[in-house]
Structure 1
Amino acid sequence: MKYSLMRKFDVTNGPGIRSTIFVSGCTHNCEGCFNEDLQSFDYGTEWDLKAEKEFISFVENPVVVGVNILGGEPLQQTMDDSLVNLLEKLKTKFPDKSIWLWTGDTFEDAILNEKKFKIIKYCDVIIDGKFELENRNIKLKYRGSKNQRVIDVLKSLETGTTVTFDVD
């Protein structure tokens, strides 16, 4: 896995002060993508133990309430176990800090894919759906177009139906 950026403190993506990683690589090719450079799987820096330790040190800060995983496309980071391993460590070490993930996949499709589900099961909230330029709405919280949903992963998996997360 490669990543383009880590943010120690992020107040834009998700509620509260959060630590964020932007992974590289995406095949969705959404028109109007705000991270077009991150579509290349070769863009950025190779994820390694040093990067992992640095990111975990960001999350250790008591002001940080959670983690954001954006891209690129996090659910396409299945060429190795870097992202799965990171999420497992974060969830184990910081069970009270929520993990939010943005994907162009729909939740219903993604949970049927074994490799993607390995990532999803460590997330608390997923913002799903491709960005649609014709549905762009800058007034929406945590998403760019009105087709995208903010999903409560735990409740959705418990109930077997997609449950949206109240962001207002």
Structure 2
Amino acid sequence: MQLRLAGITPESVVDGPGVRFTIFAQGCKHQCSGCHNPATHSFKAGKMFEIEEIIEQIKEKALITGVTFSGGDPFFQAAEFAQLGQQIKELDQKLDIITYTGFLYEELIQDQEKLSLVKVTDVLIDGLFEEAKQDLSLNYRGSSNQRVIDVKKSLRTDKIVKVKL
């Protein structure tokens, strides 16, 4: 299975806590005004990667504490990112997965394909970037409307459980 990616940052300290292996999805329809990554919007740009190739790169990074799915928006390739997430969890249960999206959690859990990606995610940062609500003091998100959600607790309790990173 393949993913269309804008790129990979093998050791990032800005895409979540710790040292993270960050994967940038190529493709986004949200078109947020002020997006910091507009080069990821086109669904035709980027490069195709085999999931196995990404897993091999992750195996080489002994210092990473987690994996971040960013974008673009990974939920436009939900089945593929879900498959990647499953393989990451099989590789090392200690690696947490943070997923960024412009969709809202409530929307994602209503769609079976998107729900498959939600289920392999530990922390979801949801919501469109809103330029008028931009707040540079926030950790790991761009605007105050975006939520940092503990996915496992939220699915278990059937209500949104926010977490601080």
Equivalent residue, structure 2, for 1:44 = 46
Secondary structure at the aligned position of 1:99 is classed as strand
Q: What do residues 5-60 of structure 1 show as CA deviations (whole Å, max 9, x unaligned)? A: 111100001100110100100100100111111011111101225632443324xx
Secondary structure at the aligned position of 1:47 is classed as strand
Equivalent residue, structure 2, for 1:68 = 68
Equivalent residue, structure 2, for 1:12 = 14
Equivalent residue, structure 1, for 2:37 = 35
Aligned sequence identity (%)? 36
Q: What do residues 115-150 of structure 1 show as CA deviations (whole Å, max 9, x unaligned)? A: 100111000000000000000011100100000010
Q: TM-score, normalised by structure 1?
A: 0.92
> Conserved in 1, the CA contact under 8 Å of 2:21 and 2:58?
no
Alignment of 1:37-116 (within 5 A): 37-49=39-51, 51-58=53-60, 61-78=61-78, 81-116=79-114
> Conserved in 2, the CA contact under 8 Å of 1:26 and 1:76?
yes
Task: Provide structure 2 residue ranges, at least 5 long, that are not aligned to the other structure.
Answer: none
Q: TM-score, normalised by structure 2?
A: 0.94
RMSD: 1.3
Give the distance between the partners of 2:101 and 2:21, measured in 1 at CA: 17
Secondary structure at the aligned position of 2:6 is classed as strand
Task: Provide structure 1 residue ranges, at least 5 long, that are not aligned to the other structure.
Answer: none
